[in-house]
Structure 1
């Protein structure tokens, strides 16, 4: 029986005070489905509604239940542990636990799969970190908070925040004695457009509420603006804003490198200048934690890989594996941070450690649709350039640059005008229509057919990304096979 992990200055330690490094991945796309991971366009709640319209409530419920079942099983945990990895971040959507039209009424069924995977991981010696990826009202303007617009209503309506605290109180009560739950991640990638001050106020309330029930588990607190900005936690002189600090808290940054994405014009070549950029980016994001003696934990990072059909895929992916290796050496060897969680464990082939095989019913049935969605750039993550689309948008972007240059300063300030247009037009307007088209591809399927699709995600039907897994195995401290 292990004890509950805790912080000790800049370290995470076990009950004996021995330092623990939490290294692993997130099972994104599971209890918070994302479009590029499982293939549907748009947002999860739209797809669930569209599928229910096509199949009816009973069959739609059956399909999603079986998908959750097959997505992560004991075989997945055993494979994960065989690489020497010891931590899985579990993103989840609040909609599993309450409905907007019936708020604060717990849907007990939401714990069915969460309880199961926490136990599966514990049996394999893997810690879990519970991550609220999609909160009521949406805590950021992007698709991964299940946001059908770019309005983050979480920050404008207190009731959304109250409901989120209510949910965390229930979760804390359920897992307060579970030593294999490493901690709670109250909000993924929050985006408070007012500088993060409302985020700090929310964390302050959430921490008090959670610790009244569970005083022992760590909290993993993401910074503002997609977990990259921690300035709101400090006074102008650099001292902590909060008296007494943030005991037993781990501040979590996300450290994606632009060199790892298909939209970049350059690839990682391992030059001193490129390595200096990686280090500078990490140091900027982690400065707050290092200055105040908090553990540093990287909750998300990782390149996007090219499919085998892509020209020069092997060469490009080799460079992206090297990029990931450079980041891991930075975290593990030079700065010895408390751990990391790559994005992600399983998907359709963009980033996952494993993916459904090309001959599975899922890939065979939806492959043509996935190609269409890619042409239309309906998913932001991992999208590849389409000259025809860019030519259509170029005059509008030039016009807006001239007439409304202030759009370049619109929050999130990390977004360009093109990114705002992509989010509102392709990923929202176009994707909503494509969502219904995708659901139609399920029409006529019975339970047997739906089971075959869901089972495509079972570990026994998946292929491994061996280059990625070899790097992770080495970073976890195991010798190469």
Structure 2
């Protein structure tokens, strides 16, 4: 009877051991059970803050696509305003500027621009002598104006015919200034204030330089920013995966739509070759969708507006891109998974629209692979962390990507170093445990960084912060990926952090699992010995 009991106890413990080791195992990794990855950000999808020097050679570089400006008449001392935010007249009668007085630039050349209102309409005119209105739904020659600058703040606005705009005594803008204005206080002179020029993505870079020059800039960047030596470095420091952001235009290589520059597909092919050479797995991440899913530069938004969720054409185009990527890379031995969309906006992308897209994307990937992981990214902003785990997107090898930054939120502004570290251990770890135990998809910390809002953090503080994140994020059932491999801001730069001792990757990933599995293994062996003897 005792022998039977021992046998059943042994079987129970062995089952527990196997369940523990398998439940958090990611298929296809070489010698590891979870993803320990790094993002190749700023390479195939441009983010100007990662490498600002890319934009240094652009003339009028502070007037790229999406730059927000306000205009004030120097004679009337009033601001130009699009009534009702667009769709009506343009007046010059506001003392204090707000959203109706703020316009987004669309850049046609280094001196030609179009003005887009808050509601999305463009400045237009119906012949010389008539008033300018904000009623055009899409821009053409009638909505294109030359801007002449003086000391960067004073401007003249000219039609293609050569006629200048001026303010009238009726507080309108008319296309009938006589002759060529000087830079004194005259009715054709405006003061231009740049409110924001935060967008520095692929669209701004390519359109800012123009196609010929941009082709040179992009080719040099893609060839030098990430190389095979970087994969060697990652392999040597315990990294088994890379998450590679790509833009929707990659599906049209080598001749993507204007202004995008071909060559990103060749670079992605190179990354897969290098990854295979070093036993590193690749996650393809669709970072930028047609029309922009969040209005940010990393979604290649032209002007900060989010058009992706409001257009079925955009969603269909995105699914076509997923089909292209899945069909091309599904059989490649270096592929680990495909992320269907990066950081959709909770404010602009309804959950039902997003989950419908994710379900369709999941099925597309499954056409080409039964094992590739399909990764769905959580909405950014105010979104329920559990919403995608309960969405029933697909039955197998599904992963939910959540991004953890102790930044971009006023909650973190006044936190000390100790507060930030406690937040990782208490809040992040608790949430991660809840997500892991939700009996749904695997959980992936697809972006995190060893940076915070602390201005006086010491080297030891940063080391402790990095250590806390590594310990906690390693509990994610799929794994984690650092943002990003290289960056002009040193604490965002993975290579800099590792070389300078701020992050120690090797040794993480197995501590908790090893101790627990060793305990169970020893227990099983002990019971087996009892049975034998």
The interval holding the TM-score normalised by the smaller chain is 0.5 to 0.7
Mapping of residues 442-453 of structure 1, within 5 Å: none
2:359 is aligned to 204
Structure 2 runs not aligned, ≥5 long: 1-20, 56-197, 512-533
> Out of 248, 258, 282, which is 1:128 matched to?
282
Q: CA-to-partner distance for each residue in 1:214-234, whole Å, 9 max, x for gaps?
A: 333111111122696444446
1:318 is aligned to 460
Mapping of residues 331-480 of structure 1, within 5 Å: 331-332=473-474, 335=475, 337-350=477-490, 351-354=492-495, 465-468=499-502, 470-475=503-508
Aligned equivalents of 1:108, 1:311: Cα separation in 2: 40
- Check whether the contact 1:298–1:340 (CA below 8 A) recurs between aligned residues: yes
Mapping of residues 157-196 of structure 1, within 5 Å: 157-193=311-347, 195-196=350-351
Higher helix share: 1
> Out of 47, 59, 66, which is 1:34 matched to?
47
**3-state SS in 1 of match to 2:506:** helix
- The CA RMSD measured in Å over matched residues stands at 3.6
- Check whether the contact 2:344–2:379 (CA below 8 A) recurs between aligned residues: yes
Q: Measured at CA, do residues 261 and 227 of structure 1 come closer, stay the same or move farther in structure 2, by a change above 3 Å?
A: closer
2:528 is aligned to none
> Out of 364, 374, 379, which is 1:224 matched to?
379
Mapping of residues 81-92 of structure 1, within 5 Å: 81-92=235-246
> Does the alignment pair 1:265 with 2:299?
no
Aligned equivalents of 2:351, 2:499: Cα separation in 1: 38
Q: Find the structure with the greater CA-based Rg.
A: 2
Q: CA-to-partner distance for each residue in 1:148-170, whole Å, 9 max, x for gaps?
A: 33432111001111011101111
- Check whether the contact 2:26–2:35 (CA below 8 A) recurs between aligned residues: no
- Check whether the contact 2:243–2:481 (CA below 8 A) recurs between aligned residues: yes
> Out of 194, 214, 221, which is 2:369 matched to?
214
Q: Measured at CA, do residues 155 and 464 of structure 1 come closer, stay the same or move farther in structure 2, by a change above 3 Å?
A: same
Aligned equivalents of 1:163, 1:155: Cα separation in 2: 12
- Check whether the contact 1:84–1:476 (CA below 8 A) recurs between aligned residues: no
**3-state SS in 1 of match to 2:417:** coil
Aligned equivalents of 1:259, 1:322: Cα separation in 2: 21
Q: Measured at CA, do residues 323 and 150 of structure 1 come closer, stay the same or move farther in structure 2, by a change above 3 Å?
A: same
- Check whether the contact 2:44–2:247 (CA below 8 A) recurs between aligned residues: yes
Higher strand share: 2
Q: What displacement does 1:88 show?
A: 0.8
Q: Measured at CA, do residues 241 and 182 of structure 1 come closer, stay the same or move farther in structure 2, by a change above 3 Å?
A: closer
- Check whether the contact 1:24–1:341 (CA below 8 A) recurs between aligned residues: yes
Aligned equivalents of 1:347, 1:102: Cα separation in 2: 27
Aligned equivalents of 2:411, 2:450: Cα separation in 1: 9
> Out of 275, 283, 289, which is 2:430 matched to?
283
Aligned equivalents of 1:250, 1:23: Cα separation in 2: 15
Aligned equivalents of 1:98, 1:195: Cα separation in 2: 28
Aligned equivalents of 1:17, 1:49: Cα separation in 2: 42
- Check whether the contact 1:77–1:124 (CA below 8 A) recurs between aligned residues: yes
Moved more, 160-169 or 59-68: 59-68
> Out of 46, 55, 62, which is 2:204 matched to?
46
Q: What displacement does 1:126 show?
A: 0.9
TM-score computed with the length of structure 1 as normaliser: 0.63
Aligned equivalents of 1:152, 1:259: Cα separation in 2: 19
2:291 is aligned to 137
Aligned residues between the structures: 342
Q: Measured at CA, do residues 205 and 62 of structure 1 come closer, stay the same or move farther in structure 2, by a change above 3 Å?
A: same
Q: What displacement does 1:275 show?
A: 2.0
Aligned equivalents of 2:509, 2:243: Cα separation in 1: 16
Q: CA-to-partner distance for each residue in 1:41-91, whole Å, 9 max, x for gaps?
A: 623211211122xxxx33431221121011111111111111011111101
Aligned equivalents of 1:112, 1:15: Cα separation in 2: 24
Structure 1 runs not aligned, ≥5 long: 1-7, 235-239, 356-462
| Relative contact order higher in (CA < 8 Å, ≥ 6 apart) | 1
Q: CA-to-partner distance for each residue in 1:427-480, whole Å, 9 max, x for gaps?
A: xxxxxxxxxxxxxxxxxxxxxxxxxxxxxxxxxxxx974123x422343579xx
Aligned equivalents of 2:273, 2:388: Cα separation in 1: 35
